[in-house]
Amino acid sequence: MSLDPYQIRKDFPILSRILPNGKPLVYLDNGASSQKPQSVIDATNQYYTNDNANIHRGVYYLSQHATELFERTRIKTSHFFQAQCAKAIIFTRGTTDAINLVAQTWGRTNISEGDEIVLSVQEHHSNLVPWQMLALEKKAFLKFIPIQEDTTYDLSNLNEIITKRTKLVAISQMSNVTGTVHDLTRIINRVRQVGAKVLVDGAQAACHMPIHLVDMDVDFYAFSAHKMLGPTGVGVLFGKEEILEAMPPWLGGGDMIESVELETSTYAALPAKLEAGTPNIAGVIGFSHALDYLQKVGMKNIKEHERMLTEYALEKLNRIGGLHIYGTEDLDKRGGVVSFTMDGIHPHDVGSILDEEGVAIRVGHHCCQPLMKQLSIPGTCRASFYLYNTKEDIDALVHSIEKVKSIFGRVARK
């Protein structure tokens, strides 16, 4: 059963917005953050209006009810992603926070001088800078999986990159720049051969396709709620239970302790040990309703819808002269992202003119400066799609790009 984006759009109030310049909003920046359905908006309002209380501490009704709603989301998240168990789901502030948690707890405990951490050249800064910091502190070495011309991973020298000195491989499943979706099977198999651990940055993949964490056999998987219809300020770290159990806490404070003396403390069991302080309760509860919405639509349907939009966009954009598209042409290895540059026109100029037409895209280096350096460009224009986007949105994008060419053509002729 395919999804109906026109029916879905009715559930997202912002998509009917008319911008101050009188143009209707065409939202194509889903790689940065998704819009929210009314059910998620209502759920967060409901919490603050009727259920607001701190969790895990109170014996009174409101606290117990808020705790139940919060923990129900943890169980729902575990089921949605087919994780090992609910205790293996740790709520964080986002993907960045989740990766830093692993770096500061598992990394500081297990990475020693001379060890190797393997990344790829196309990682988001969130999955690069924390490991740079840890490697500097521990005197460890960073190694990188290169990419091929079509931006898929180049695994030809994988055995030389991932060795017995490798302690961790931290890689993204889907590029936030090109939309390239990577088959991680060979990488994970090699990780198991050398006895290392693997962390997958799922910030882009988790919102666009079915994810079965146990089947993937990853040690850590990180993603954000706000990219999958949920509120900002909520992320998830999945970790294998036995690994999380062995990790020390990162942040100290309330809710992560079992008992506290003046000079020593003992720590709570999972997941509380890794969730110090008052969390984003309303955001987590809102995320529960985002998962409900995605479950109802179906992740396979979302993946197929985005494939259709991507194919349509590539067909239209490839007809525009002087426009260069990055990423693989294989739609089986590509998600709903199209990054491009235009000859002689800076991405920021493209983005500004598209904004005048109501078309919202992302321009710049997309927190992937090493990848931009390898591609020898300052940045790209990125259009990214989701379940509520339509062919008409693509048409509006194409029309606006043609307007960019027209404007700069007139400037050049002067």
Task: Tell me, yes or no, whether 35 lies in a domain.
Answer: no
Q: Is there a single domain that holds both residue 281 and residue 304?
A: no
CA–CA dist 284, 274 (Å, integer)? 16
Q: Is there a single domain that holds both residue 121 and residue 173?
A: yes
Number of domains in the chain: 2
Which residue matches tokens 């770290």?
A: 237
Task: Tell me, yes or no, whether 107 lies in a domain.
Answer: yes
Which residue matches tokens 């591609």?
A: 375
For residue 348, give both structure tokens: 């920021």
| Per-residue model confidence (pLDDT) at position 411 | 47
Task: Tell me, yes or no, whether 199 lies in a domain.
Answer: yes
Q: Is there a single domain that holds both residue 291 and residue 210?
A: yes
What CATH number does the domain containing 323 carry? 3.90.1150.10
Burial of 265 (0-12, 13-18, 19+ CB in 10 A): middle
Q: Is there a single domain that holds both residue 141 and residue 176?
A: yes
Range of the domain at 281: 41-295
| Per-residue model confidence (pLDDT) at position 57 | 84
Q: Is the pTM of this model over 0.85?
A: yes
**381 flagged as catalytic:** no
Q: Is there a single domain that holds both residue 167 and residue 314?
A: no
CA–CA dist 66, 58 (Å, integer)? 10
**Domain final residue pick, 272, 295, 318:** 295
Q: Which amino acid is at 382?
A: R
Residue-wise burial string across 173-197, b where 16 or more C-beta atoms lie within 10 A, e elsewhere: bbbbbbbbbbebeebbebbeeeebb
Task: Tell me, yes or no, whether 198 lies in a domain.
Answer: yes
**Domain final residue pick, 244, 266, 295:** 295
Task: Tell me, yes or no, whether 402 lies in a domain.
Answer: yes
Which residue matches tokens 């990577």?
A: 182
End-to-end CA separation in angstroms for the chain: 53
Query: What does the chain come to in residues?
Result: 414
Q: Is there a single domain that holds both residue 286 and residue 310?
A: no
Give the chain's residues under pLDDT 50: 411-414
**Domain final residue pick, 295, 312, 327:** 295
Q: Is there a single domain that holds both residue 134 and residue 227?
A: yes
Catalytic residue among 85, 207, 367, 368: 367
| Per-residue model confidence (pLDDT) at position 2 | 83
Task: Tell me, yes or no, whether 36 lies in a domain.
Answer: no
Which residue matches tokens 């490697």?
A: 135
Cβ contact 164:115 at 8 Å: no
| Per-residue model confidence (pLDDT) at position 410 | 55
- Please name every residue paired with 237 in a beta bridge, in sequence order, or none if there are none: 90, 222
What CATH number does the domain containing 70 carry? 3.40.640.10
Q: Is there a single domain that holds both residue 11 and residue 93?
A: no
CA–CA dist 4, 40 (Å, integer)? 19
Q: Is there a single domain that holds both residue 9 and residue 85?
A: no
For residue 289, give both structure tokens: 């309703």
CA–CA dist 390, 383 (Å, integer)? 13
Q: Is there a single domain that holds both residue 173 and residue 316?
A: no
Task: Tell me, yes or no, whether 144 lies in a domain.
Answer: yes
Task: Tell me, yes or no, whether 389 lies in a domain.
Answer: yes
- Please name every residue paired with 362 in a beta bridge, in sequence order, or none if there are none: 382
Q: Is there a single domain that holds both residue 261 and residue 331?
A: no
Q: Is there a single domain that holds both residue 264 and residue 344?
A: no
